[in-house]
Amino acid sequence: MELGLKGKTVIVTGGGSNIGRSVFLAFMAEGCNTVNAELDEAQGQKVVDQAKSLPGKALLVKTDVTDHKSVEAMVKKTLDTFGQVDILVNNVGWTFDRLFIEKPREEWEKEIKINYWGFINCTRAVLDHFIARKSGAIVSLGSDAGRIGEWREAVYSGCKGAVIATTKAVAREVGRYNIRLNVVCPGVTVPASANDMSKYSLWQESFKIFTPEVQQKATHAYPLRRLGKPEDIAGAVLFLASDAASFITGQTLSVSGGYSMM
């Protein structure tokens, strides 16, 4: 399917690791001007360098999605460089699995800041531009945790549920400007190698829990009997961001091998 993404300008937050990295490289392969809005500058640059042979143009902008001023500066830098923004991918997220009653408050606060404030800051920062152009697509990374509630991920589930609900609400408000917002919910999706992880990746800690043995056991909860690969998620993100999905808004798509069937 021709996605018609060539020449579009795309911001991918957290494009240094795992899913964001794969999404960044996929937009580069389509010939997009692709911004890697990443907190880990060295890892972000590594991924930009890996994309050198691809047809798109890459830009790394060190960004902290939890800080609205940093996000606004990143959007301005994108506009100064490429003249417009067509697509935002809200990819950054973070959690550490722990029972609700055992979680320290600082971990909840970190989860809320990164997963929900990060989404709000980035979404808000592109909307004036999208409204002025009467065009734009936002794809946010949710989680099946936000649809069904996942044990040991109570506040993270709440944040991802909030991303889903806020996506629907904003989609209702801005649909009249031809702006679409959708959510992709991965299941467990493990980085292919330690090279594909930033120093801020949730996998730095999560690999201590998701040992190869646990990963193997976890596949039994998936009807397709495997965990996700970053490329599985990138395909769905590109589709929803593209004109091929021009009549789809406010929707949530699980890409999780049937783990949740909503």
Ligand X SMILES: NC(=O)c1ccc[n+]([C@@H]2O[C@H](COP(=O)([O-])OP(=O)(O)OC[C@H]3O[C@@H](n4cnc5c(N)ncnc54)[C@H](O)[C@@H]3O)[C@@H](O)[C@H]2O)c1
Indicate whether 13 belongs to the interface with ligand X (CB under 6 A): yes
Residues 6+ apart with CB under 8 A from 177: 130, 131, 134, 135, 136
Report the distance separating Cα 220 and Cα 254, nearest Å.
17
* Residue range at the interface with ligand X (CB under 6 A); choices 12-20, 129-137, 164-172, 236-244: 12-20
Q: From the CB of 143, what's the least distance to ligand X, in Å?
A: 4
Number of residues that bind ligand X (CB under 6 A): 30
Q: From the CB of 192, what's the least distance to ligand X, in Å?
A: 11
Pairing of strands 136-141, 252-255: unpaired
Query: Of the residues 116, 156, 200, 222, which is catalytic?
Result: 156
Report the distance separating Cα 255 and Cα 193, nearest Å.
21
102 close to 57: Cβ distance less than 8 angstroms? no
Tell me which residues in 163-182 interact with ligand X (CB under 6 A): none
- Nearest to ligand X of 110, 133 (CB atom): 110
Tell me which residues in 55-74 interact with ligand X (CB under 6 A): 63-66
Residues 6+ apart with CB under 8 A from 120: 166
Is 156 an annotated catalytic residue?
A: yes
Q: Beta strands of 91-192 (E only): which ranges?
A: 136-141, 179-186
Report the distance separating Cα 53 and Cα 39, nearest Å.
24
- Nearest to ligand X of 121, 242 (CB atom): 121
Report the distance separating Cα 99 and Cα 102, nearest Å.
5
Phi and psi angles of residue 144, each rounded to the nearest 5 degrees, phi first: -60, -25
- Nearest to ligand X of 157, 249 (CB atom): 157
Here the tokens at position 251 are 């929707």
Amino acid of residue 134? K
Q: From the CB of 197, what's the least distance to ligand X, in Å?
A: 6
Indicate whether 36 belongs to the interface with ligand X (CB under 6 A): no
Tell me which residues in 39-58 interact with ligand X (CB under 6 A): 39-40
Tell me which residues in 100-159 interact with ligand X (CB under 6 A): 114, 141, 143
Residues in touch with ligand X (CB under 6 A): 13-14, 16-20, 38-40, 63-66, 91-94, 114, 141, 143, 186, 188-189, 197-198, 200-203
Q: Which residues are catalytic?
A: 156
